Amino acid sequence: MADGWMARIDDALVHRRREQTYRERRAISGGNDRILHYGDKPYLNFSSNDYLGLARHPEVVAAWQ
């Protein structure tokens, strides 16, 4: 194993790539909608503040007016 903290990080990244456990994030366009589309599949966007779809609900909109 190489010396130094940076070398340990590099070793860990190499190991994760070799074991196919390295996480790669993908940019997805579509804004802050409740449903995201990646490829042909729809996904519920839990990272938005509107995953319940209430931001455009008529009662919620009326309450803010």
pLDDT digits (tens, 9 = 90+) for 19-64: 999 998 887 776 677 788 888 888 888 877 777 778 888 999 999 8
**Total structural domains in the chain?**
1
Which of 9-13, 15-19, 50-54 bottoms out in mean pLDDT, i.e. has the lowest?
A: 50-54
Q: Say what the pTM is.
A: 0.45
pLDDT of residue 6: 94
Domain span at residue 41 reads: 5-64
| Interacting residues of 51 by C-beta distance below 8 A, sequence separation 6+ | 34, 44, 45
Residue 2 predicted with pLDDT over 60: no
Tokens 């993908």 correspond to what residue? Answer: 26
Question: d(Cα 2, Cα 20) in Å, to the nearest integer?
Answer: 22
